[in-house]
Amino acid sequence: METHRIFLFMLLCFIVCAVPIQSGISNTSENEIIKISIFSRKNRTGQLYAKFHNRGKTWLDARDTCEKEGAHLAIINSKEESLILMDLFSKAPRFHEDWNFIGMTDENEEGNWMTIFNEPLNNTGFTEWNLEEPNNGASQNCGGFHGKEGKLHDLGCENIHGFF
């Protein structure tokens, strides 16, 4: 029972959900947990816990922060999931620009974007890059997500950004 309880309340930066149709997000303060209600096509209601870190960090520090929380940087698997992140981003106070780190990188091989689980980005189901992105070669090897436009971007790993 205790293991089940820990699993249910585990804080995640982003959990992939099955076919989100509608979400409701409460207002938050700095780094507060965001509770999102998900309604699936099968008429089942579940809870998704997501966290937008609005105090920026480097990509490695963002990854480590999520891991310390028992979670991982977001991996976007669908347009619906990108819309949930955009909605969450729009309701949270921000201290950095609109770009945020997510769980992908081409650090090992330029142009070969992989998730933090070493899976090709093309296998995730979401590869909507911002116009003319990715564009900065070896200087921008970490994955970004534009919180207002809902598209991918390559970011410098040592830059400071919010993260999901």
- With beta carbons less than 8 A apart as the criterion, state whether 129 and 66 touch: no
- What are residue 146's DSSP bridge partners? 99
What are the backbone dihedrals phi and psi of residue 88, each rounded to the nearest 5 degrees, phi first? -60, -45
Residue 66 belongs to a domain: yes
- The reply to whether the predicted model has a pTM over 0.75 is no
Q: Is 163 a member of any domain? A: no
Is 164 part of any domain?
no
Residue 61: domain span: 2-158
Residue 114 lies in a domain: yes
- Give the per-residue pLDDT at 55: 86
Is 124 inside any structural domain? yes
Helix, strand or coil, per DSSP, at residue 115: strand
Chain segment 54-66, per-residue pLDDT in tens: 889 999 999 999 9
49 confidence band (pLDDT: 50, 70, 90): low
63 three-state secondary structure? helix
Q: What is the pLDDT of residue 105?
A: 97
Looking at residue 80, what is its pLDDT?
Answer: 87
pLDDT on residue 27: 42
The CATH number covering residue 81 comes to 3.10.100.10
Closest CA to 62 of 151, 5, 6, 144: 144
> Is residue 113 in a domain?
yes
Domains in the chain: how many in total? Answer: 1
